[in-house]
Amino acid sequence: MNLEYVNEHIGNKIKDLRNRNGLTQQELADRTELTKGFISQLERGQVSPSVGTLLDLIECLGTTASDFFKEAEEEHIVFSEEGFFEKIDEAGNSIQWIVPAAQKYQMEPLLVVVQPHETLEEDKPHDGEEFGYLISGRLKLHLGDEVYVVKAGESFYYPAMRRHRIENPGARPAKFIWVSTPPTF
């Protein structure tokens, strides 16, 4: 890493923090006993602050040195099958977690296959909502005392505050995407 890149990186982070705090360059300069010109040059990566000056700036901007220098985690957008986790029960029904560590997100998408004439374990009432899209086969969706038939190409959506379970009444496997919020698995 060269010095120009480091200066530019530090300058960009200082400018970003200053803007997030709603400060002008002059206000930051006044708080740190620096000049507006120095702050401007710093934000453009044209000067290198001393360690003491940088620590003062970081403190005035309401953060810590460790947070300032911590690199943001790269946002993971695309997930491949190698990262999926699959659980198969005794009947051969499978649930694949198709977004690894989805528990940290607001929704949890699954790829589910229910074998012919099998039923998934009943889900007790809980907060949140559930959505499904049937890719192939047929399903019966049991919500409390109601039963809904779902065909390939159809979707379902319901608040999860009632007992619910999914059954495959057909002679071939039923495959569907199931998304719950918040994550429950």
Distance CA 178, CA 141 (A): 12
Q: Give the domain extent around 35.
A: 3-69
Determine contact, residues 10/46, Cβ cutoff 8 Å.
no
Domain count within the chain: 2
Q: How many CB atoms lie within 10 A of CB 134?
A: 22
55 with 100, same domain?
no
The pLDDT of residue 82 is 86
Structure tokens that stand for 99 in this block: 């977004």
Task: Choose among 104, 88, 123: nearest CA to 96.
Answer: 88
Whole-number pLDDT of residue 116: 98
> What's 171's domain CATH number?
2.60.120.10
Tell me what the mean pLDDT of segment 59-69 comes to: 89
Report if residue 75 sits inside a domain: no
pLDDT at 173: 98
Percent of the chain with pLDDT over 70: 97
